[in-house]
Structure 1
Amino acid sequence: MSSLVTYDDSEDEDESCDQKEEEQSDPSGFNSVNVKPRPAGSETVLGQSSSSLLYVYPKIQHQDWENRSGNEGKHFKNRSACLTFSKSIVDGSNPAKRRPSSLPGVRPYIPKRQRQSEETKCPENQPEQSLENPTRKGPVLSDVSPKVKPYLGEKPKSSGTPRKLLMSLEGHQGAVITAQWCPVPHVSHLLLSASMDKTFKVWDGAESGRCLRLYTCHSGAVRDACWTPCGRQLLTGSFDNTAAITDVETGQLTVKVDNQFKVMCVVLHPGSPDVFLCGGHSSVVKAWDSRCCKVVKTYKAAVQQTLDILFLRGGTDFITSSDCVSRDSADRTLIAWDYGSTAKISNQIYHERYTCPSLALHPVEESFVAQTNGNYVALFSSQTPFKMNKRRRFDGHKVEGYAVRCGFSLDGAILASGSSTGSAHFYDYQSTRALHAIQAHSQPCLCVSPHPVLPATAATCDWAGEIKIWH
C-alpha cells in the first residue's frame, strides 16, 4: 500500500517568503504548492492528531491550458486531482462549517429539513390558484358575453330542452346545493353556486367555464344563495348560523347577521331588496333589514325547521315549507303568511303526508309548485285560498329525502327538476307531460336552473360537487 502524504497547516515566515518568490519566478503555477514528503517510518492513523490544509491550485486561463501538451499537461492534470484529508475527519473532532465544493459536477449536501422548507416556499411546487383566487385580477361584472348579446334585443322565444353537454365545472369539494344564473340579462352568463364545502363561487357559465371568484366568508356549509336584483351582491345562508350579503366584484362583506340557528333558506323581499327572510333549524322565520342589521319582523310557527321560503307576486304574502307532518295529514307542511302583520293566512294548503323541500313561483300565471318527497311536483294556486290542483302533477323523477330543487323557464312553458337518480327532467307546464330527461350526473342531481336569456340552456349540480352546463 502506497504511503500517505501529510500537509502541514503552519508555515514559518521563511517558507512563506520562499513560496512567494517561487510563485513569482514560476508563471506556470506548478510550484505554487509546497508539498513536504512524509518522513520515513512515520504513519498516519485515523483518530490520531494530524494537521492538514486544503491547497488549491491557482486558476489557469483557458488559452494556457490549450497551449500545454504532452507530458506537461498530463502532469498538471494528475497533480490537480490529488486527495486531501481534513483535520476534523482525522482527529475525530466536530466538523466545522464546510465551504461548498467548487469542483465541477459536485453539489454540496443539503439537509432534509432545509430541502423541505425550500420546497414549501418554491412557487413552482404550488398548485395554480389563479382560477379560484378571490383577488384575481379582472372584473367579474364585465361586458356582455358574445353568446348572450344576440338574444338581448330579441323577444324571448319558446324555450327548448337541452340535449348536449357544453362544459363541466369542477372545483367544489362538497355537495352543490344550488346553482343560479344572474337575473340581470347583460351579465346573465354569470353562474352562482353554493356548496356544503363552506364556499360559494361565481363562474363564467357561457364561454370559458372559469371560476371568476371564490367567496369564503362562512365557517359552515352554505345551504342557500341567491342574487340581488341588481346583480352586484349575493345573499347567502349557512350552517354557521349566519346570513351574509357579499359584494360580487370585491368579495367584501356588506352585511352579516347572526340568526342563532342554522340557516337553510334565504330570500329577498321582491318589493324591498333591503329586507330579507331567513329560515332554518328553528320554529321562527326572521325578517332582517340590511340597512340597520336588525330583525324587523318575526314569524312564529309550531314547526321544527323551515325548508324553503317563497314570496308570492307583489310581496304581500309568502309561503313557508316545513318538516311538520302529522299522522293523518300534513298539517302545517305549507303555511301562507301575511308579510305585514306576521299573521298566518292558512296552514291547511297541502294535505298529503310528504314534506316539500323546495318551492318555485310561475313567472306568468298565478300559481306555484312544490317539490314533494312523494316523488312528484304539486301545483297550487298563488291566490287565496291556495288550493292544490289535484288533476295536474309532474312525476317521473325521484326525490327520496334529498333537497331536490325545481324551477321554471323564462316564459314558464317548461318546468325543470332534478332527481335523486342523477337525471334532469323537463316537463311541459300545461300538459304536465314529460318532454325529456338527461342522465346528467352519477350522484343525485339537486338543482336544474334554466338560463334566463339563452334558449334551451340549463345548469345542473349534484351531490358530489360537480356542475354541468347543457344546451
Structure 2
Amino acid sequence: MNSLVAYDDSDSDSEAEAGKYEDAASSEIGLADSAMRAVQYCGGLYTVSGSKGQPVECIGSSRRNVYHEDALLQNLQNIKKPMVTNYQKTFDPNLKIASRNHNHLLSSSMKPKLLSGNESCSQKRVHDDSDVPIQGLKPYIPKRMRLVKNAVPHEAECSGESTNCTIKIGTAEDRMSIKVSQYMMPYIGSKYGVTEIPKNLVFEMSDHSGPVNAVQWCPLQKWSHMLLSASMDKTVKVWDAVDQGYCLKTYPHHTCAVRAVQWFPCGSRFLSGGFDNMVHSIDIETGAQLFTSRNDFRISTLKIHPLDPNVFICGGFSPEVKAWDMRSSKIIKVYKAAVQQTLDIMFLPGGKEFLTSTDAVSQDSADRTIIAWDFHTAAKISNQIFHKATHCLLNIFRLVCNWKVIYKSKLQERYTCPSLTPHPKEPVFVAQTNGNYMALFSSLRPYRINKKKRYEGHKVEGFAVGCEFSPDGMLLVSGSSDGNVFFYNYHTSRIIRTLSGHSQACVSAKFHPVLPSLLATCGWDRAVKIWQ
C-alpha cells in the first residue's frame, strides 16, 4: 500500500520510517473494514453480528429477515469514506507520523449501537459533555443593563436619601464596597440620646506612619461609620471605625504634612490642607481632585461655610485669612490682621461672622488673640475678646486678694488659643488656651467671657490640643499633652472622668454624631482609637 504522506526529497531513513507507519495504517484500516462488515442493516436499524459469514436477525421486526453481507457493503460506502478521511487527517504532514488518537476517532464515530424497535435510527452522534466540562461560562446580561453599567462605571450608585445604597471606594490595589453600617441602622433618623462617657477601647488603628493631627466623623448619618484622619505622614485616611476598625482608603495627595481636614455636608468628599500650601477637595469614592488651590502660606486650619459648601476659609502661617469659591476657583475675600499665624477658625451661628485665634500675644497685651470678623465685608468686629476677658479675671483676682505682687505677675500671663469649638445648642463657645484651661465665651456681641466657668486640669504645653462638646451639649471633652482624655461636666465645669488614651500627646477627641457612647481620639503616637 502506498504511503499516505510522501516527499520526493526524503532520505532513506525517512522512507523506511514512512513505510513502517504505512504498514501500521494498512493494518488499522483492515481492522476498520472488518468492523464495518460486522454492521448489518435491517429495517432502518443497525445490528451487529458475531462473525463475518453469519446472518443476523432484524431487531424490532415481527418477521425474521436475513441479509447477506455483500449487499450490505454497498449501502455502507457512505460510511466508509468519511471514516477513512478522518483517519487520514490524523497524520501530520510535517513530522510524517500518524496520530496515536485514531483509535479514539474510530471508536467515537464507528462504534455500533444496539437499538430497540421503538427507537429511531439516526447517523448523528450524540455529544457527551460529561468527560469535558465547559469552562468560562458567564451569565447572560441584558443589553440594557450593559449599557447602563458602561455609561456610569465610577459614579456612586446611590442617591442622597437612600439608606440601602453602596459606596464603591477604589484604591490602586483593589476596590472596596462599603455598605451602610448594620450596627447603626436602628439609630439613623432617631433622636440623639443622652451621652454616656466611654470606658472601653473598641479599636486601635495604627496605619499612619506619623503623628495624627485631626479626626472627624462623617456628618451624614447613614455614612457616619466612616472616620476621617489627617496625619504628618502626608496622607489622609478614611476608616470604617464602627463595624470593622480598618482603613478603607488612603489619599496621598499632599507632599507635606496634612494639618487640617473637614468633611463636606454631603459626606461624599472632604477638604484637606497641609504644609505644602495646597488645599484639595477629594472625592472619597474615586480619589479624584475636585478642586485644588495653592496658597502662599502653609495651611494650618480651614473651615467650610455652614450655609454654602462651595465656599471655605483657610488660614495658616500668614497674617491673612482667605475665602475661596470652589465654583470659580478664585479668592473672594481676604481678611488681614497684624499677626504671624492663624491657629483656628470657627464660624458663628448663621455664617455671617466667624472667629480666628492667632498667636498675637505679647507680654503686656492679649489683643488680637481672638478676632471676630464680618464674613461679607471682611471688617473686624472685635479684636479685644481675650484681652477683655483677661482683664476681667485679673480685676476680680485683685479685689479678692488685694496683693499687688500677685496681680502684677498675673497681669503678664497671656495665652494663645490653639482651638475653638461652639456649643451645639447654646450661643456660647469654648477656647482652648495654652494656660492649661478652657475659657467659655458668649457667641453674641460683645462676646463676653463666663466668669463662673473655667475648665482646667488637662495640659496643653504648646500642642494644638482640640476640644469638643457632646452632641447633646452635656459634656465637654479635651485631649491633653500627657496622652489622657478629660471629660468635663458642661454646667459644673468639673472633671467627670479621665481616660489614659495615648502614650503621647492626644490632640483631638470627637464624639460620634449618632451613637451616644462612641468617641474617636488621635495623638502623636500615630494611633487612632475608638472608645465606647
Give the TM-score taking structure 2 as reference length. 0.63
User: 1:292 aligns to what?
Assistant: 328
Unaligned runs of 5+ in 2: 1-12, 14-168, 391-413
Give the Cα separation in 2 of the matches to 1:194 and 1:138.
21
CA contact (8 A) 2:170 2:285 kept: no
User: 1:278 aligns to what?
Assistant: 314
CA contact (8 A) 2:311 2:325 kept: yes
The total of aligned residue pairs comes to 344
User: 1:376 aligns to what?
Assistant: 437
Distance 1:154 1:373, change over 3 A: same
Secondary structure in 2 aligned to 1:138? strand
Is the aligned partner of 1:138 residue 2:176?
A: yes
User: 2:501 aligns to what?
Assistant: 440
User: 2:339 aligns to what?
Assistant: 303
- Residue 147 of structure 1: how far off its partner (Å): 1.6
Identity rate of aligned residues, in percent?
52
Give the Cα separation in 2 of the matches to 1:294 and 1:375.
39
Give the Cα separation in 2 of the matches to 1:457 and 1:425.
15
The superposition leaves residues 77-99 of structure 1 with CA deviations (integer Å, 9 ceiling, x where unpaired) of xxxxxxxxxxxxxxxxxxxxxxx
CA contact (8 A) 2:278 2:294 kept: yes
The superposition leaves residues 177-221 of structure 1 with CA deviations (integer Å, 9 ceiling, x where unpaired) of 001111111111000000011001000000111100100111110
Match of 2:427 among 366, 372, 378: 366
Match of 1:150 among 178, 186, 200: 186
Instruction: Give the aligned CA root-mean-square deviation in angstroms.
Output: 1.9
Is the aligned partner of 1:453 residue 2:491?
A: no
- Residue 411 of structure 1: how far off its partner (Å): 1.0
- Residue 455 of structure 1: how far off its partner (Å): 1.3
User: 2:448 aligns to what?
Assistant: 387
Distance 1:465 1:132, change over 3 A: farther
Bigger CA radius of gyration: 2
Correspondence 1:27-426 to 2 at 5 A: 133-134=171-172, 136-139=174-177, 142-351=178-387, 352=390, 353-426=414-487
Give the Cα separation in 2 of the matches to 1:387 and 1:326.
21
The superposition leaves residues 70-119 of structure 1 with CA deviations (integer Å, 9 ceiling, x where unpaired) of xxxxxxxxxxxxxxxxxxxxxxxxxxxxxxxxxxxxxxxxxxxxxxxxxx
Query: What amino acid sits opposite 1:263 in the alignment?
Result: I
- Residue 388 of structure 1: how far off its partner (Å): 1.0
Give the Cα separation in 1 of the matches to 2:242 and 2:473.
22
Give the Cα separation in 2 of the matches to 1:164 and 1:356.
31
Give the Cα separation in 2 of the matches to 1:263 and 1:186.
31
Give the Cα separation in 2 of the matches to 1:134 and 1:204.
18
Give the Cα separation in 2 of the matches to 1:153 and 1:133.
31
Give the Cα separation in 1 of the matches to 2:300 and 2:190.
37
Distance 1:382 1:134, change over 3 A: farther
The superposition leaves residues 332-351 of structure 1 with CA deviations (integer Å, 9 ceiling, x where unpaired) of 00000000100000000002
Query: What amino acid sits opposite 1:466 in the alignment?
Result: A
Secondary structure in 2 aligned to 1:426? strand
CA contact (8 A) 2:205 2:527 kept: yes
- Residue 134 of structure 1: how far off its partner (Å): 5.0
Give the Cα separation in 1 of the matches to 2:211 and 2:379.
36
The superposition leaves residues 440-469 of structure 1 with CA deviations (integer Å, 9 ceiling, x where unpaired) of 011010111111111111011011211110
Secondary structure in 1 aligned to 2:280? strand
Distance 1:284 1:211, change over 3 A: same
CA contact (8 A) 1:134 1:213 kept: no
Give the Cα separation in 2 of the matches to 1:451 and 1:347.
33
Give the Cα separation in 2 of the matches to 1:153 and 1:214.
30
- Residue 154 of structure 1: how far off its partner (Å): 2.7
Greater share of residues in helix: 2
Provide runs of 4+ in structure 1 moved above 4 Å. 131-135
- Residue 133 of structure 1: how far off its partner (Å): 4.4
Give the Cα separation in 2 of the matches to 1:338 and 1:153.
35
Query: What amino acid sits opposite 2:261 in the alignment?
Result: A
Distance 1:291 1:389, change over 3 A: same
Secondary structure in 1 aligned to 2:176? coil
User: 1:98 aligns to what?
Assistant: none
Secondary structure in 2 aligned to 1:350? helix
Query: What amino acid sits opposite 1:199 in the alignment?
Result: T
Give the Cα separation in 2 of the matches to 1:350 and 1:398.
20
- Residue 132 of structure 1: how far off its partner (Å): 10
- Residue 136 of structure 1: how far off its partner (Å): 2.8
Give the TM-score taking structure 1 as reference length. 0.71
CA contact (8 A) 2:352 2:375 kept: yes
Secondary structure in 2 aligned to 1:150? helix
Query: What amino acid sits opposite 1:376 in the alignment?
Result: Y
CA contact (8 A) 2:170 2:176 kept: no
CA contact (8 A) 1:165 1:469 kept: yes
Query: What amino acid sits opposite 1:373 in the alignment?
Result: N
- Residue 243 of structure 1: how far off its partner (Å): 0.8
Give the Cα separation in 2 of the matches to 1:132 and 1:357.
36
Query: What amino acid sits opposite 2:519 in the alignment?
Result: A
CA contact (8 A) 1:422 1:439 kept: yes
Secondary structure in 2 aligned to 1:224? strand
